[in-house]
Structure 1
Amino acid sequence: MTETLLDKDGVRLTVEGDTATVTLAVPAKRNAQSPAMWRMLTEAGRVLPGTVRVVVLRAEGPSFSAGLDRQAFTPEGFDGEPSFLDLARGTDDEVDAVIGAYQAAFTWWRRSDVLTIAAVQGHAVGAGFQLALACDLRVCADDVQFAMRETSLGLVPDLAGTKPLVGLVGYARALEICATGRFVHAAEAERTGLANLVVPAAELDGAVADLAAALLAAPRDAVVETKALLAGAAARSHEEQQTAERAAQTRRLRDLAGLAD
């Protein structure tokens, strides 16, 4: 049985068994993002049941997300929200706190107790690109178009997307993608590691379901430990990584032997 836990401000969270689905649900605006949407994305991570092992991020309509709603740059901004022009007039600490709150919508996807998959079709631009990058894995339709347009607008990508982008494609390619704002299409995304898999658009949902099922096949604790090992590998030396592997394996062996604390 599918249970809806959240459906507000363009974000819908449903749970079925050990799989949750977060859907961007503003197709008429190509799922353009706003601070209200970011708050609901953060809330989705907060209310996610502990039984969930896999989270799928998807979007209604032909585009995953066209990025930040340009209304943010108007003097009026969004109803009930400070405009970005007002934000610029704040102190450094005030601006830092606001952006930090926005980033929370993009950071919980990497936590160790769940595996996250972005199902990406059509445009994934700016904040949309960074939201796809927030997930562990990306399955893309063959019409996907990634672009980091912030630099073209005189800004920088600030929604936690720069580190995973560099990790996936390397510094030089990440710099070129961000500085030019160009589109990265499906073939390049798959070749460079941005996409784990590219499929025809009609097969996107099925491919994501197949991947989710494969991820659920292994015992949860083993997957959690493995994700933590891989996520921390880049920051560790070889010796530190080997130490982490030994500690993780010790925990797994004791658990399998019924000797865990």
Structure 2
Amino acid sequence: MLMKANEPVGSGQTGLSDSEAASLYRLMTWLSPSFPVGAFSYSSGIEWAVEAGDIVDATSLRHWLASMLADGAGLCDGIFLAQTHRAASSGDDVLLAEVAELASAFATSRERHLETTAQGRAFIEIARAAWNSPPLDRLIAVCEVAIVYPVAVGLVSAAHATPLAPTVHAFLHAVVSNWISAGARLVPLGQTDSQRLLVELEPVVSATATRALKASLDDLGSATFRADLASMRHEAQYTRLFRS
């Protein structure tokens, strides 16, 4: 039956409650490329991989990023975000402090540590300034180390009662989007190829998010040795566009 123009729309037709709509709005804002955490300044070692000839086109970039997502930084960061969110939401300050410390120590290179801590600091500062939440100040105080990016997202999303599952999916989408953006500028690739890459990596992002949500801290680990070496060798690269 057709609705009249002035007939109120029921919740079954809108699909989102007020709290769900607020959470979606915040996730789209926090993890948008326009949210000023400086992500555009970092390539996570992709710049060295392009110079070394490991990445030469869209296909090789897709393989590289799929590995980073499923077997490297993508999965590990997803696990850290999930564990942070759960510890913060349950009020387990001991576990939260342990997760924050482990995540800070888990960076495989100096540049990777700079990348994730700088983005984490910027994310926290902007969230506190624009999305003030008293619980967030207490959660930050529990973490006595430099807060890395996935932990920062976990803290802010938990403080605002944003559901964990969509937060992890949105976070990994934002991470891979930034990687593709860096690769597009370095290879270089056109906008259409970049969007095709995002489409092709969708199942990898989804599967990695699902794994991260099911994983424990015991499941942390990386097998992307070439990507780790790329991050380390980028520091001594003669010409650089990116900070990592």
- How does the TM-score come out when normalised to structure 2? 0.25
Task: Decide which structure has greater helix share.
Answer: 2
Structure richer in strand, relative to its length: 1
Greater RCO structure (CA 8 Å; 6+ sep): 2
TM-score, with normalisation over the residues of structure 1? 0.24
